[in-house]
Amino acid sequence: MRHRLIIASLLAIAAMVMIVLSGRAASPKSSTPQNVDVSQRHLNESEEAIAVNPTNRNNIVIVTNIGHREAGLTAGMFEGVSFDGGATWTTRIIGNNDNLGDACCDPSLSFDEYGNLFMTYLYQVENVVPIALSTDGGLTFSVIANIAAPPKTTGKKAPGDNRGLFRYVDQPTITAAKGEVWVVFNAAGPMFATGAPVSGLGQVGAFFAGEVVPGSNNCTYGDVAIGPAGQVMQACNLTTTGQGGGKIFVNVDPDGLGPMGFGDRVFVAETHVGGFDFIPPQPDRSVDAEVGLAWDRTGGAHNGRVYAVYTKEQKNESDDMDIYVRYSDDDGATWSEGVRVNDDNTKNSQFLPKISLDQTTGNIAVVWYDSRNDLGTGGAGDTDGIPNDDAQVWGAFSTNGGTSFTPNIQISAGTSNSHDSGNAIDYGDYTGLSFFGGLAHPAWADNSNSTGNNPDGTLHQLDIYTAAVAVTH
């Protein structure tokens, strides 16, 4: 620990020297927040989850994928824990055949109002979905449940026909609030959901047997949100093969853990984004539309409004992807027109959005990877003279219930190139964002080395970066 502090101090001094020497000539706009390299680790970290503890807003936790083979590991994920608002981080590898098992990847995190930190992820081999709980702000976790395929006919919410269910599992997402915790994931075809009651710190009941979400076959990369009355919404991307198209659907369970199940699916938006839609800045993994939800439980002006963020490709296979937000005031039955969040005038790619709602204010934040500054003509946004293959991270706020968004903010100080990382999944399938108490905390994969402390140098393997972004109006 002490060595880490000394090293951090030396790095800080080195960074100041570099800033003086460079004369800040290539510095981003002054509005760009201070970037922090959380992982400072050799090899690739990507596909990150982040959560801020509502009982201690200085406690922030990040968990990400890592490359296993390159590190000589068979399993594991990267974890960073901060107790000073994200300025400094304690880091380790978790799920490397420790008490969290053989963690593959796909982490999702959620703190609840008691300070419980829930985590879900995928195992390497087993086709069950683990739920882990930390009651000490992310310093330690233990597995409290493994969600397996339910028996075929038992349980009040049992699916009718679950042949083939759990042949594989993918992309679990966990959300906790209002005395309940829910997880959704793709269970080899349809989306599957289950939840458990929560009554205090470390006080988590049993997960029910679970249910198949109606009409969700081939719908994946989902999200789940909890409303002010304890109602639950899942959203997913119905993807056809390849890049041709996608549709966003939601389903609502109106009484949460009560006896009712998820209702019929409701169409939200057409995206033109397939499950594996290739774009120049994400050329190896490709992207999906990456729908995300946020539900206002503030009791304020827009209490009960639920927001959905997603990516839309303007003309199919144009690579001109943009970020949109819609909202619903009737628990997902009807949706507003889409509001475009990115405010650039280019035809370049914006992708992998994340939304988070500050439950202390009702303001929303959206962040995404953004290639607007890569015109292939050199300069700060272009690493290689090729247009639209480099990316920065940008974001915006809405302080009026999603009616409009603020001028966009460049959040990453540097410019990254995912293909240069050699990471087979590029930046990953998603990015992280947690917005609480007026500060948005994004987490993203970055190989710009803008902070000068990525041990792999510039435009090589990815580190995980974060920043504290103050709400703007």
> Using an 8 Å Cβ cutoff, are 272 and 231 in contact?
no
Choosing from 142, 316, 334, 472, the residue that interacts with Ca ion (CB under 5 A) is: 316
Judged by CB under 5 A, does residue 320 bind Ca ion? Answer: yes
Which among 181-189, 217-225, 247-255, 453-461 is the span making contact with Ca ion, rule CB under 5 A? Answer: 453-461
The residue among 112 and 370 lying less far from Ca ion, judged by its C-beta, is 370
Shortest distance (Å) from residue 426 CB to Ca ion:
14
Binding to Ca ion by CB under 5 A, coded x per residue (else -) over 429-448, reads --------------------
CA separation for the pair 44, 460 (Å, rounded): 9
Per CB under 5 A, 68 contacts Ca ion: no
Whose CA is closest to 231, among 188, 280, 191, 193?
A: 193
Binding residue for Ca ion, selected from 384, 400, 419, 452, defined by CB under 5 A:
384
Identified binder of Ca ion from the candidate list 390, 426, 429, 446, rule CB under 5 A: 390
Residues 325 to 354 in contact with Ca ion, rule: CB under 5 A: 350
x/- track of binding to Ca ion for residues 222-261 (CB under 5 A): ---------------------x------------------
Q: Concatenate the DSSP letters of all residues of 172-197 into one string.
A: EEEEEETTEEEEEEE-SSSEEEEEEE
CA distances to 37, 56, 194, 389, 413 from 26, rounded to whole Å, are: 19, 36, 49, 20, 10
Which of 10-18, 134-142, 220-228, 306-314 is the region at the interface with Ca ion (rule: CB under 5 A)?
306-314
Nearest CA to 265 among 208, 197, 218?
218
Judged on CB neighbours under 10 Å (0-12, 13-18, 19+), 415 is: buried
Rg of the chain over Cα atoms, rounded to whole angstroms, equals 21
Helices (H), 340-469: none
The residue (of 178 and 272) whose beta carbon lies closer to Ca ion is: 272
User: How many C-beta atoms surround the C-beta of residue 401 within 10 A?
Assistant: 18
Which residue in the set 5, 26, 206, 386 belongs to the binding site for Ca ion (CB under 5 A)? 386
Binding mask 1-40 for Ca ion (x = CB under 5 A): ----------------------------------------
Comparison of 288 and 374: residue with beta carbon closer to Ca ion: 374
Contacts of 121 (CB under 8 A, 6+ apart): 63, 77, 95, 100, 103, 104, 105, 106, 107, 108, 130, 132, 172
- Report how far residue 153's alpha carbon sits from residue 85's, in angstroms, rounded to the nearest whole number: 48
The smaller minimum CB distance to Ca ion, of residues 41 and 305, is found at 41
From candidates 68, 157, 272, 460, binder to Ca ion by CB under 5 A: 272
Nearest distance from C-beta of residue 89 to Ca ion, angstroms = 13
- Name which of 227 and 395 has its Cβ closer to Ca ion: 395
Tell me which residue of 397, 253, 274, 281 sits closest to 339, measured CA to CA. Answer: 397
CB 171 to Ca ion: min, Å: 19
Which of 463, 465, 466, 471: binder of Ca ion (CB under 5 A)?
Answer: 463
Please pick, from the candidates 79, 112, 296, 322, the single residue that binds Ca ion as defined by CB under 5 A.
Answer: 322
CB 127 within 8 A of CB 170: no
DSSP run (H or E) holding 246: strand 246-253
Interactions with Ca ion, residue window 140-179 (CB under 5 A)? none
* Contact range with Ca ion by CB under 5 A, out of 148-156, 193-201, 288-296, 385-393: 385-393
**270 sits near Ca ion (criterion: CB under 5 A):** no
73 vs 79: CA distance, rounded Å:
15
Cβ pair 436, 52 in contact under 8 A: yes
Binds Ca ion (CB under 5 A): choice among 277, 319, 370, 446: 277
Q: How far is the CB of 153 from Ca ion (least distance, A)?
A: 40
| Contact call for residues 463 and 37 (beta carbons, < 8 A) | yes
- How many chain residues touch Ca ion (CB under 5 A)? 17
Q: What's the rounded Cα separation, in Å, for the pair 380 and 173?
A: 35
What's the min distance (Å) between Cβ of 211 and Ca ion?
31
DSSP 328-362: ESSTTSS-PPPEE-----S---EEEEEEEE-TTT-
Complete DSSP assignment for 36-73 = EES---SS-EEEEEEEEETTEEEEEEEEEEE-HHHHT-
In the bound state with Ca ion, the residue whose beta carbon lies nearer, of 390 and 429, is 390
- Residues forming contacts to Ca ion in the complex (CB under 5 A) are 41, 243, 272, 277, 313, 316, 320, 322, 350, 374, 382, 384, 386, 389-390, 461, 463
